[in-house]
Structure 1
Amino acid sequence: MRHSEYAGGCAGICVDLTLFPLDTIKTRLQSQEGFYRAGGFRGIYAGVPSAALGSFPSAAAFFVTYDCAKSLLGSGGVLKEPSVAPVSHMLAASLGEMVACLIRVPTEVVKQRTQTSPSSSTYHMLKVALRQEGVRGLYRGFGSTVLREIPFSLVQFPLWECLKTQWSQRRGHTLHSWQAAVCGAFAGAVAALVTTPLDVAKTRIMLAKAGSSTASGNIPLVLCDVWKSRGLTGLFAGSIPRMTFISMGGFIFLGAYEKARRTLLS
């Protein structure tokens, strides 16, 4: 499965570094203090070292787990039937996200705190997090991240696989990498919109002050607070940059993954 590791890792770096400014804008829109108080358009690349550090290993971990799980689930039993293939894709993607989050969450915590404090460095925010809460603090928001990523994957990957299958059957041949990328872009945009409220909750939990009620990670409570203070607009704060980021990211990520995987297998 080394082709999955390298293909997924390279695709992850391409996405995270190319589209990082959109991620910063999204994070600041979702922060409790609001876009301009969180930095506005200043220091748009704040936190990029953390993203770069975690990008390759987390993306590689996801695709290795996803491909292994999809292969095992589809190799025997009821899940090998084409009619239930989406179920195996959902289960494989969910497992992949859980494994990837073990790497992604600490880098996400440091990245988002740096994004909303552009005058501070990534190293400074890492030291502050470790001093205040220890290693456990770097995993604050792990549950909310997993609960965001699993529904996201349940929508994105079965939809991506379905779109590829339908388009391939109509064309009568295996899709080119760019065609798989188009399917990925559409699937990503749909999944991004649906899961934005969960992303808002995850951002609030990661950015909250240590010891606060929000920092406890109670997702329904956080969503309720957002609803009371900012209504539906607050629950879908950052949805446009998030959809743009993930749609473009889906094009780059899944297209680069398909291209790299085919190159490494040939």
Structure 2
Amino acid sequence: MQQASALFLGVYEPTKQKLLDILPENLSAIAHLTAGALGGAASSLVRVPTEVVKQRMQIGHFNSAPNAVRLIIANEGFRGLYAGYGSFLLRDLPFDAIQFCIYEQLRIGYKLAAQRDLKDAENAIIGAFAGAITGAITTPLDVIKTRLMIQGPKNQYRGIFNCVRTIMREEGSSALMKGVGPRVLWIGIGGSIFFSVLERTKQIVAERRTESPFKRV
């Protein structure tokens, strides 16, 4: 998924900076929300096929990724690799927008309070908190996305709203929060690692840019 992350950040960072330059300072959250959503939309072009193949393999439909891609295209057409695309966007666009907005806003507030740059551990804690909160909020969207992606050609659900109605009718509303505990834990840990590495990488890149090209080693 490195390609998807690179694509996300390649859209997110320039978009964020452009919007922050245009918008008033008190509307920075809008810049973060918008940039996160646009980054998520761009990376979905890679993430959705990867997610479809992974989930079909997890439930035993295929024994290898190349075999999965070949048979999905043969049985469902190229669009089969984008099964549940709408539900994926329904989950991941809010997820990316909310997570990055929470993270960026918490960093802004923390830096103002501390009046200094944040340490790696502080970035990690803020990233974990942002990931955990966002993971909990978007759990129902993740359940819907998963159900639509793994149904295959049988089309048990006729779109997002039919999926929600069917789950509510057959399993109750609590089914929409299935897996919330592990999801919050996993995304919290992932957010901690991702954001701390991201900030460290941005710091290294910034330091290299400020170095003179004529500096002797």
Same-fold call, TM cutoff 0.5? yes
Q: Residue 91 of structure 1: CA displacement?
A: 0.6
Determine the structure 1 residue equivalent to 2:211. none
Structure 2: tracts of 5 or more residues without a match? 208-217
Give identity over the alignment, percent. Answer: 34
Letter in 2 for 1:207: I
Alignment of 1:71-82 (within 5 A): 71-76=17-22, 79=23, 81-82=24-25
What SS is found at the alignment partner of 2:99? Answer: helix
Determine the structure 1 residue equivalent to 2:197. 256
> Does 2:3 align with 1:57?
yes
Determine the structure 1 residue equivalent to 2:16. 70
Q: Residue 177 of structure 1: CA displacement?
A: 2.4
Residues 35, 97 of structure 2: 8 Å contact kept: no
Q: Structure 1 pair 59/238, CA: closer, same or farther in 2 (3 Å)?
A: same
> Does 2:170 align with 1:221?
no
Letter in 1 for 2:78: V
Determine the structure 2 residue equivalent to 1:107. 50
Q: Give the alignment partner of residue 241 of structure 1, picking from 146, 158, 182.
A: 182
Q: Distance in 2 between matches of 1:118 and 1:255?
A: 37
Residues 197, 223 of structure 1: 8 Å contact kept: no
Q: Give the alignment partner of residue 174 of structure 1, picking from 105, 110, 117.
A: 117
Q: Distance in 1 between matches of 2:61 and 2:197?
A: 31
Q: Residue 164 of structure 1: CA displacement?
A: 0.8
Determine the structure 1 residue equivalent to 2:213. none
Does 83-92 or 149-158 show the bigger shift? 149-158
Q: Distance in 2 between matches of 1:149 and 1:65?
A: 15
Deviations 1:175-219 (A, max 9, x none): 1222112111101111111111111110011100314142x4x11
TM-score normalized with structure 1 length: 0.74
What SS is found at the alignment partner of 1:240? Answer: helix
Q: Structure 1 pair 64/231, CA: closer, same or farther in 2 (3 Å)?
A: same
Determine the structure 2 residue equivalent to 1:130. 73
Q: Distance in 2 between matches of 1:201 and 1:237?
A: 11
Q: Distance in 2 between matches of 1:190 and 1:224?
A: 25
Q: Distance in 2 between matches of 1:154 and 1:261?
A: 20
Q: Distance in 2 between matches of 1:249 and 1:74?
A: 26
Residues 62, 97 of structure 1: 8 Å contact kept: yes
TM-score normalized with structure 2 length: 0.90
Q: Give the alignment partner of residue 143 of structure 1, picking from 78, 86, 111.
A: 86
What SS is found at the alignment partner of 2:117? Answer: coil
Q: Distance in 1 between matches of 2:43 and 2:5?
A: 7
> Does 2:133 align with 1:190?
yes
Q: Give the alignment partner of residue 100 of structure 2, picking from 144, 157, 175.
A: 157
Q: Distance in 2 between matches of 1:226 and 1:124?
A: 31
Q: Distance in 2 between matches of 1:192 and 1:245?
A: 9
Q: Give the alignment partner of residue 148 of structure 2, picking from 205, 216, 240.
A: 205
Residues 181, 254 of structure 1: 8 Å contact kept: yes
Q: Residue 118 of structure 1: CA displacement?
A: 7.9
Structure 1: tracts of 5 or more residues without a match? 1-54
Q: Distance in 2 between matches of 1:139 and 1:224?
A: 22
Q: Residue 131 of structure 1: CA displacement?
A: 1.4
Aligned CA-pair RMSD: 1.5
